[in-house]
Structure 1
Amino acid sequence: MAHPSRISEELKEFIVKDAPPTVYYVPDFITEAEEEYLLQQVCRAPKPKWTQLSGRRLQNWGGLPHPKGMLAEKLPDWLLTYSQKISALGAFAGKAANHVLVNEYKPEEGIMPHEDGPLYHPTVTTISLGSHTLLDFYTSVNQTQDGVPQTEESRYMLSLLVRRRSLLILQGEMYERYLHGIQGVAADTLTERVVNLSVAGGQVGETLPRGTRVSLTIRHVPKVCRANLLLSRK
């Protein structure tokens, strides 16, 4: 399948103008029937496929990213379909997505502010299933300023409301310069610092109870190696 080397015109209309470059937010990227199908596939995964972490559990598909190269594994068809759909939008500059993390967050579960690192093409794309979440962004930790240590609160910059069935794409400055995380809370109260309220259908002061959310984080790992190549070296 050929993929455009640049973001498609179709996607450009979904850019979030009130955020630093570059955020694309696509509401209802998948249908309710597709959401239900994907949730069923996640639940049907073999139990050993799950890894339990502090605050969430996850499935890893496509291989384990590594500085020396990811030993690539074929994505299952239920993930390949949506990986190809996102790749066809030009999200990975002409490359095809080859790695998916499936994260499950129950209410009051979250993830500390972090960056995705250099093992991936500098784009992260996420399809959300089952529930919304609020994705928070922070400046990086620098040396103390004026002798006062920086706190997570002082580094907080903005948030994005990520609805179920939506597609979120982060590139450029939003991927490379800022950390992102999810607070471990049972409900989210929307403020004026949620920069995509108009397109995500939220209002300042609104409180949204969380359900169990499953995210499909779809990325491209540039450095891969094939199993047959490794065998040929033995």
Structure 2
Amino acid sequence: MTVISVTVAGGSGKFGNKVVRALLADNSYQVSVLSRTGSKNENLDHLREQGARIVTVDYSRHEDVVRALQGTEILISTLFHYAAIEFQPALFRAAKEAGVRRVVPSDFVSDHHQMQSVIYRDPAATERAIAEAQLEYTRYHCGVFYRYLTTPYIGVDIEKRKVSVVGKGDIRFSVADEDDFARFIAASIKDPRSKNTKLGFESTSITFLELIAAIEKHIGAKLE
């Protein structure tokens, strides 16, 4: 069996470490994790113990990133949205110079234009960065992660018993379990059909009214 060399940028983060663990569990990959210089994230030690190679890197130094990516076939970026906006274009340029053949951008939200516009000031920036680097790509899109469903990010403030509903709240939207999504990435990125395409993932769908009802039942109180 051919082993694929994969490097994960942001691999010690909340979602990134799940992707790294899923890749390691698959046994099809040799996995490296890019860690910012000075980072003391405890996830790094756990990932190292499970077999990941930890590579310290200064994202602001092009030659440092190129060095860190030497020997990598696929680069998966799991940088948080704001960090991805800042670092991803330079990261992809370094990947090209290092001989990386494919990139997976940190673009793990709905592919719907309106959602892209909410998350990113320039929704086309990722596509341009990939095109400019002239690399293969696989773009993954998914629904809202479960952990955001009970936060002000989605319009729910459990502590204040407040909720903000846009429209009637009866339109279904996709949600995603992060562990399942990470396993989906690990299972699909090695498939030749994943080259230069977009793949969507959904654990289930729910309406905002259904979400509110479920929260109210769980906490035993009404949301205003």
**Is TM-score (shorter-chain normalized) higher than 0.5?**
no
TM-score by length of 2: 0.26
TM-score by length of 1: 0.25
Which structure has greater helix proportion? 2
